Amino acid sequence: MITFLRRRIVSSAIPLVFVVLGVFVLARLTGDPVNLYLPLSATEEQRAEFAAAHGFDQSILAQLWDYLGQVVRLDFGESLRTGQPAGEMVLTAFPATLQLAAVTMLIAIVGAVLIGSLAAYRPNSLADRVASFLSMTAASIPDFWFAIMGVLVFGVSLDLLPTSGVDGGAEVWVLPIATLLIRPFGVLVQVVRGAMVGALSAPYVKVARSKGASEKRVVFGHALRNATMPALTVAGDLTIGLVNGAVVVETIFGWPGIGKLMIDSILQRDFAVLQAAVLLTAVTIFVLNIVIDICYALIDARVRQPVAA
């Protein structure tokens, strides 16, 4: 298990290095911050002074070297917009995104396992066809459209729910979660259903029934654990998608998470914050991948143990 983990960590760390480099290069391709921050009327001296103050006057390699040194020390510099430390801004915004993602995935996984299993238990039954149709629809609805329709119907016409912000009780969560939930939920129901149909027709399920196992035992004791692997792969991917910004939802609902922070920093050429945000997201994905690998190994012994005769 330890060897398994060490191998997984090393192999996932390599892409992380590329992310660190890629962020630096791509951020500089978006335009010159000096032109953006200073008025058109700024003199050459003012421009040079601004560039010197933020290190933009140095060669790209020198800037990269500084950047890497800072990354190693977990110092991401200061925000061009607010003057606050970038790392601090990112860490302040991050929990809002994590909460949103965690609640969403929890609902999606529990719901999908129940509905997917129910649908798979009797393939082509009415319950199966309803579940398949609805989940297909859910998986196909564009989230930005759903979000705007939600705001229009429940926020404006019916005036039941707040349209943005985090101040208030449970009702502020409803629209953002519903928007984030709809696609992962639809996709997961389909995946769980497919995997469960396969698992329930496997010989070991027949064997379990031949031992007199109850249907509950057959479905949840034998089949579900075998169906978990494909569902876990997709769930992990969807979670990464959610953590990776929830950019649209956070922008529409004014949710102060990392997605909104990223969009704002891109629009403002706020390199320091952008780099910190992307890097934090990358680290989160790195950690998530390892967590998913650990889950695989816990669920299926074949992943962690060599085959022996």
Partner 1 sequence: MSATALSVEGLRVDLHTPGGVLRAVDDVSFAVRKGRTLALLGESGCGKSLTAQSIVGLLDPIAEVTGGAVHIGGTDVLTLDHAGRRELAGPVLSIVFQDALTALNPVQPVGRQLAEPFRIHKGLSRRAAKAEAVELMARVGIPEPKARYRAYPHQFSGGMRQRLLIAMAVALGPDVLLADEPTTALDVTVQAQIMRLLSDLQSERDMAVVLITHDLALVAEQADDVAVMYAGNVVETGPVREVFDHPRHPYTKGLLDSVPEHAVKGAALPAVPGSPPELSAIPSGCVFQARCPLATARCADERPRLEPSGDGRATACHFTEELSRA
Binding site for partner 1 (CB under 8 A): 123, 201-204, 206-214, 217, 222, 225-226, 299-302, 305, 307-309
The beta strands (E) that lie in 189-235 are given as none
- Closest to 91 measured CA to CA, from 292, 288, 284: 284
| For partner 1, the closer CB: 143 or 300 | 300
- Per the DSSP assignment, residues forming a β-bridge with 85 are 78
Report the nearest approach of partner 1 to the CB of residue 224 (Å): 10
Query: Which CB sits closer to partner 1, 102 or 127?
Result: 127
- The C-alpha atoms of residue 211 and residue 178 are separated, in whole angstroms, by 43
**201 half-sphere exposure, CB direction, 13 A CA radius:** 8
The structure tokens listed for 3 are 């060897």
Minimum Å distance from CB 210 to partner 1? 5
Query: Which residue, 83 or 203, is less far from partner 1 as judged by CB?
Result: 203
- In 3D space, the residue among 127, 100, 140, 112 whose CA is nearest the CA of residue 231 turns out to be 112
Least distance from C-beta 215 to partner 1, angstroms?
8
**C-beta of 82 vs 201, nearer to partner 1:** 201
Nearest-approach distance from CB 216 to partner 1, in angstroms:
12
What are the Cα distances from residue 238, in Å, to 9, 108, 144, 291, 297? 21, 10, 17, 14, 20
What is the full DSSP assignment across 32-81? -HHHHHS-TT--HHHHHHHHHHHTTTS-HHHHHHHHHHHHHTT---B-TT
Q: Supply φ then ψ for residue 213, to 5 degrees.
A: -70, 145
Residue 202 or residue 263: which is nearer to partner 1 going by CB?
202
Nearest-approach distance from CB 4 to partner 1, in angstroms: 15
Neighbour count for residue 10 (Cβ, 10 Å): 9
Nearest approach, Cβ of 241 to partner 1 (angstroms)? Answer: 27
73 versus 211: smaller Cβ distance to partner 1 = 211
